[in-house]
Structure 1
Amino acid sequence: MMTDPIADMLTRIRNGALARHDRVELPHSRLKEHLGQVLKAEGFLDDVRVSESDDPTGPRTLTLILRYGRDRQSAIDGLRRVSSPGRRVYVRHDRIPRVRSGLGVSILSTSRGVMTDRDARKQRVGGELLCEVW
């Protein structure tokens, strides 16, 4: 049994980028899918795909296509899980930290969905600080 699926997702992305893999596959959940969509919108991933299994009642798979630049340099330099099951971190909209002086992005789970720190400040909504990506 996995206790922190978001940390598992971030670790798989980190390991896949370090090994220069084209894609990373992981078990599907709606939160992980929305987190992948935010990373795609911010330019860290090329695509997010959900594939059905052959069995209609079987598990779905989330496939993340990693993005690379020139010389196979990964678009993701670092990932950090902030809130964990044993230590939840909640922030107000005016206390959302800036990542690497604005070069990175914080991802929050809010009452209006999963969004970046910029969107949360703009909509004046706080929430659980899931992770930081730079």
Structure 2
Amino acid sequence: MNDPIGDMLTRIRNAQLRGKSTVSTPGSKLRAWVLDVLADEGYIRGYEKSTDVNGHPTLNIELKYYEGEPVIRELKRVSKPGRRVYMGVKDIPSVRQGLGVSIVSTPKGVMSDANARSNNVGGEVLCTVF
């Protein structure tokens, strides 16, 4: 798999289109950190770590809906394996005038754009969520 974050975002997007309550994805630390940000910002209910039949780590994500509609309206991958996107703290974009969130991988960890600005740190913009 070339783009594990992109794969996870696509799984979430597809599960929400189908109205699923949960979706599972192969587990990794980076995926868990991205899910932590999504949970902190209120876009998913949460997730739990488990292992599949072969002993591989798995993340089971609980999706969040409001009045039958998915809370996540738009989920876009910004930095891709073929084109990495790095931004300084002043260049980190605000999504939909602050209504959405950019998830940034910084030297201080994976965090939302607001946390990156408050910590005065830039990094790789992984994705945007609205």
Q: TM-score, normalised by structure 2?
A: 0.97
Please give the alpha-carbon distance, in whole angstroms, between the structure 1 residues aligned to 2:52 and 2:65.
28
Q: What corresponds to 2:42 in structure 1?
A: 43
2:105 is the alignment partner of 1:109: yes
Please give the alpha-carbon distance, in whole angstroms, between the structure 2 residues aligned to 1:83 and 1:20.
27
Where 1:33 maps in the other structure, the secondary structure is helix
Please give the alpha-carbon distance, in whole angstroms, between the structure 1 residues aligned to 2:64 and 2:110.
21
Superposed CA RMSD in Å reads 0.9
Measure how far apart 1:77 and its partner are: 0.2
Please give the alpha-carbon distance, in whole angstroms, between the structure 2 residues aligned to 1:30 and 1:48.
13
2:129 is the alignment partner of 1:130: no
2:59 is the alignment partner of 1:62: yes
Please give the alpha-carbon distance, in whole angstroms, between the structure 2 residues aligned to 1:85 and 1:31.
14
Long gaps (5+) in structure 1: none
Where 2:34 maps in the other structure, the secondary structure is helix
Q: What corresponds to 1:15 in structure 2?
A: 14
State, as a whole percentage, how many aligned pairs show the same letter. 48
Long gaps (5+) in structure 2: none
Measure how far apart 1:35 and its partner are: 0.4
Where 2:70 maps in the other structure, the secondary structure is coil
| Counterpart amino acid of residue 51 in structure 2 | E
Where 1:103 maps in the other structure, the secondary structure is coil
Please give the alpha-carbon distance, in whole angstroms, between the structure 2 residues aligned to 1:120 and 1:106.
10
Q: Count residues in correspondence.
A: 130
2:79 is the alignment partner of 1:83: yes
Measure how far apart 1:75 and its partner are: 0.4
Please give the alpha-carbon distance, in whole angstroms, between the structure 2 residues aligned to 1:52 and 1:86.
30
Measure how far apart 1:4 and its partner are: 0.4
Kindly indicate which of the two structures has a greater share of residues assigned to strand. Answer: 2
